[in-house]
Amino acid sequence: MKLAATGSSVIGPAHEQDNLPNQDAVMVHGILRGWCIAACDGLGSREKSHLGSRKAAQEVRCVLRKALQKPSTATPHINQNIQNNWHDHFSTNIRPYETTCLWACVKQNGDGQAAQVGDGLLMVKANGEFRVITPPRDGFGNQTQTLAQAKATDWATVEFQLSQPGDGVLLITDGISDDLIPDQLEGFFDVIYQQLKSSNKRRCKRWLTKELEAWSTPKHGDDKSIAGIFRTE
């Protein structure tokens, strides 16, 4: 079995024009011959959300490093640790740092876990079957859950096994997901897999970055981030 992972994040045209930072954060990290990834999207209405998203990605890495050293850690427990650590870092002044959080990890044997709170998309292909784990959006378009206020029941979670080449898990923030229609999702997933399979983490990241910078909806000004883990052999 061979696993590969990649990710990229680019600032949206609107934020670049207004001299604002990229409010997304991506993390791709190898742990114990497996991989962990995160894609976090700071709320545009919060002045320090770029710091909140970066901290969320860092906490995902820290929590998963500890979790993967144990035989099994339940996904809800990982979620709670990420959220608690993030809250503790910002203490009581968390509102300016609000961010969504999507994360996933896959062990060297192909066993995987993933979860999401807030906007974006979490997609998994396991045993050759493609699934969107993100629940249908409810509420107004500008409302989303964040690490600041989410309850345990607000997290969407999944456990899976990457049993064959082409299986994987993909995280994307809403700067991408809002432009994709449901019928495109599996094809989009497979394009990322094929690119990673035929290159490597670094070259695939460069390719992803170019694709996101030249996004086919040029007036979509939001930041765009993506991270994935795939079984390539």
Which CATH number belongs to the domain containing residue 44 in this structure?
Answer: 3.60.40.10
Q: What is the predicted pLDDT for the residue at 92?
A: 79
CB-based contact 162:107 (threshold 8 Å): no
Which helix (H) or strand (E) element contains residue 27? strand 24-31
Q: What is the predicted pLDDT for the residue at 143?
A: 63
Q: Which two tokens stand for residue 199?
A: 């290159």
Q: What is the pLDDT of residues 192-230, one digit of tens each?
A: 999 999 988 788 999 999 999 887 765 566 899 999 999
Question: Tokens 């994307």 correspond to what residue?
Answer: 172
Q: What is the predicted pLDDT for the residue at 29?
A: 96
Beta bridge mates, 124: 131, 169
Question: Tokens 């082409």 correspond to what residue?
Answer: 166
Q: What is the predicted pLDDT for the residue at 218?
A: 55
Question: Tokens 């064959």 correspond to what residue?
Answer: 164
* Spatial distance between the Cα atoms of 149 and 168, rounded to a whole number of angstroms: 29
* Spatial distance between the Cα atoms of 46 and 181, rounded to a whole number of angstroms: 28
* Spatial distance between the Cα atoms of 165 and 187, rounded to a whole number of angstroms: 16
Q: Side by side, which strands form the sheet with 121-126? A: 3-10, 224-231, 168-172, 121-126, 129-132
Q: What is the predicted pLDDT for the residue at 220?
A: 60
Beta bridge mates, 161: 111
H helix count then E strand count, the chain = 6, 10
Average confidence (pLDDT) per 10 residues, the chain, 233 residues? 95 81 95 95 86 97 92 93 95 91 97 96 97 80 80 96 98 89 93 92 89 73 92 95
CB-based contact 231:1 (threshold 8 Å): yes
- Number of structural domains (the chain) is 1
Q: What is the predicted pLDDT for the residue at 222?
A: 82
Q: Which two tokens stand for residue 39?
A: 């894609």
Beta bridge mates, 121: 172
For residue 82, give the 3-state DSSP assignment.
helix
Is this structure's pTM higher than 0.85? yes
Which domain, by its residues, includes 62?
3-231
* Spatial distance between the Cα atoms of 111 and 89, rounded to a whole number of angstroms: 30
